């Protein structure tokens, strides 16, 4: 147990890599399991899918590039997904749009 004055132990690169690998595997696994959970009564499948997509977007570069491509092709769908994932970019765009509406466009 750490004492008050001791610094917390730093995580080793090996441990961080292992954790990241687990998250990279867990994201797609949750996406695959969401239809199975969706068969159960309630909204569990939606939340499992959202968690899987969130983990995948955060840790898998191919998923992030695909997401950006989809957002460019269908901006409205991208806006809804950003809102649902509570992404900071959605809040920035919302704030910018509100300021432009208040002060007029350029």
Over residues 11-31, the pLDDT tens digits come to 677 787 888 888 889 999 999
Could you report the per-residue pLDDT of 45-79, keeping only the tens digit for each? 888 988 898 889 888 899 989 988 988 998 888 78
Do 30 and 48 form a contact (C-beta atoms < 8 A)?
yes
DSSP 41: S
Phi, then psi, of 59 in degrees rounded to 5: -115, -10
User: Following CA atoms 75, 77, 83, 89 in sequence, which dihedral angle do they give, to the nearest 10 degrees?
Assistant: -30
Give the count of beta carbons closer than 10 Å to the beta carbon of residue 9: 7
């Amino acid at each position: 147990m750490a004492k008050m004055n001791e610094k917390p132990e730093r995580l080793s690169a090996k441990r961080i890599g292992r954790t990241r690998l687990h998250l990279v595997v867990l994201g797609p696994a949750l996406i695959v399991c969401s239809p199975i959970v969706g068969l159960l009564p309630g909204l569990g499948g939606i939340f499992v899918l959202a968690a899987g997509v969130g983990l995948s977007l955060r840790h898998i570069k191919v998923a992030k590039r695909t997401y950006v491509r989809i957002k460019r092709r269908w901006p409205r769908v991208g806006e809804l997904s950003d809102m649902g994932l509570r992404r900071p970019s959605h809040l920035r765009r919302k704030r910018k749009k509100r300021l432009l509406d208040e002060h007029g466009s350029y």
